[in-house]
Amino acid sequence: MDRLDRQTLARIRATPQVTLPPSGWDRQGVGIVHLGIGAFHRAHQAVFTQDAFAVTGDDRWGISGVTQRSASVRDQLAPQDGLYGVLERAVDHLGVRVVGAVREVLFPVEQQELLLDRLADPAVQVVTLTVTEKGYRRDAAGHLDLADPAVAAEIAGGTVTSAVGRLVRGIERRAATSGAPLTVVCCDNLTDNGRVVRGLVDDYCAAIGASDLATWIGGHVRFPSTMVDRIVPATTDDDRALGEEILGLRDEGLVTAELFKQWVIQDDFAAERPAWHLAGAQLVSDVAPFENMKLRILNGTHSTLAYLGALRGHATISSAVSDPGLLDIAQGLIADDVIPILEQPEGEDLQAYGAEVLKRFANPALAHKTTQIAMDGSQKLPLRLLGTIRANLAGGRTPHHALRGVAGWMAYLARSEGAGGLALPVDDPMAGRLTGLVRGRTDAAAVVDALLGVHEIFGDDLPGNAAVRDELVGGVRELL
Residues that bind ligand CS2 (CB under 6 A): 189, 229-231, 299, 302, 373, 380
262-266 and 226-229 as β-strands: parallel, antiparallel, unpaired?
antiparallel
Q: How far is the CB of 231 from ligand CS2 (least distance, A)?
A: 4
DSSP 8-state class, residue 144: B
Q: What stretch of H or E contains 106?
A: strand 102-106
Q: How far is the CB of 360 from ligand CS2 (least distance, A)?
A: 9
Identify which of residues 106 and 308 has a Cβ nearer to ligand CS2 in the complex. 308
Identify which of residues 165 and 382 has a Cβ nearer to ligand CS2 in the complex. 382
Q: How far is the CB of 132 from ligand CS2 (least distance, A)?
A: 9
77/312 Cα distance (integer angstroms): 38
Residues 6+ apart with CB under 8 A from 189: 133, 228, 294, 295, 299, 380, 383
Q: How far is the CB of 88 from ligand CS2 (least distance, A)?
A: 15
479/417 Cα distance (integer angstroms): 12
Identify which of residues 138 and 230 has a Cβ nearer to ligand CS2 in the complex. 230
Identify which of residues 20 and 231 has a Cβ nearer to ligand CS2 in the complex. 231
Neighbours of 417 (CB within 10 A): 12
Q: How far is the CB of 91 from ligand CS2 (least distance, A)?
A: 18
Identify which of residues 229 and 251 has a Cβ nearer to ligand CS2 in the complex. 229
Identify which of residues 298 and 389 has a Cβ nearer to ligand CS2 in the complex. 298
Identify which of residues 230 and 401 has a Cβ nearer to ligand CS2 in the complex. 230
Backbone angles phi, psi at 422, to 5 degrees: -60, 125
Identify which of residues 231 and 451 has a Cβ nearer to ligand CS2 in the complex. 231
Taking CA atoms, 398 is separated from 333, 392, 466, 477, in Å, by 12, 6, 11, 18
Q: How far is the CB of 44 from ligand CS2 (least distance, A)?
A: 8
Q: How far is the CB of 189 from ligand CS2 (least distance, A)?
A: 5
324 beta partners: none
Q: How far is the CB of 299 from ligand CS2 (least distance, A)?
A: 5
Tell me the H-state helices in 86-148: 108-120
Q: How far is the CB of 430 from ligand CS2 (least distance, A)?
A: 16
- Confirm if 306 and 299 have CB atoms less than 8 A apart: no
Torsion over CA: 431, 416, 420, 386 (sign): negative
Question: Listing from the earlier edge strand, what are the strands of the sheet with 30-35?
Answer: 102-106, 62-66, 30-35, 126-129, 182-186, 221-222
- Confirm if 162 and 151 have CB atoms less than 8 A apart: yes
Identify which of residues 172 and 229 has a Cβ nearer to ligand CS2 in the complex. 229
Q: What stretch of H or E contains 453?
A: none
DSSP 8-state class, residue 68: S
Give the three-class secondary structure for 226: strand
Residue 126, sorted as left (phi over 0), alpha (psi -120 to 50) or beta, turns out to be beta
Q: How far is the CB of 69 from ligand CS2 (least distance, A)?
A: 18
Identify which of residues 160 and 187 has a Cβ nearer to ligand CS2 in the complex. 187
Taking CA atoms, 451 is separated from 201, 378, 406, 455, 476, in Å, by 31, 10, 10, 9, 12
78/106 Cα distance (integer angstroms): 10
Q: How far is the CB of 438 from ligand CS2 (least distance, A)?
A: 21
Give the three-class secondary structure for 209: coil
Q: How far is the CB of 229 from ligand CS2 (least distance, A)?
A: 4
Identify which of residues 43 and 210 has a Cβ nearer to ligand CS2 in the complex. 43
Identify which of residues 127 and 264 has a Cβ nearer to ligand CS2 in the complex. 264
- Confirm if 300 and 405 have CB atoms less than 8 A apart: yes
Taking CA atoms, 442 is separated from 410, 411, 436, in Å, by 11, 9, 14
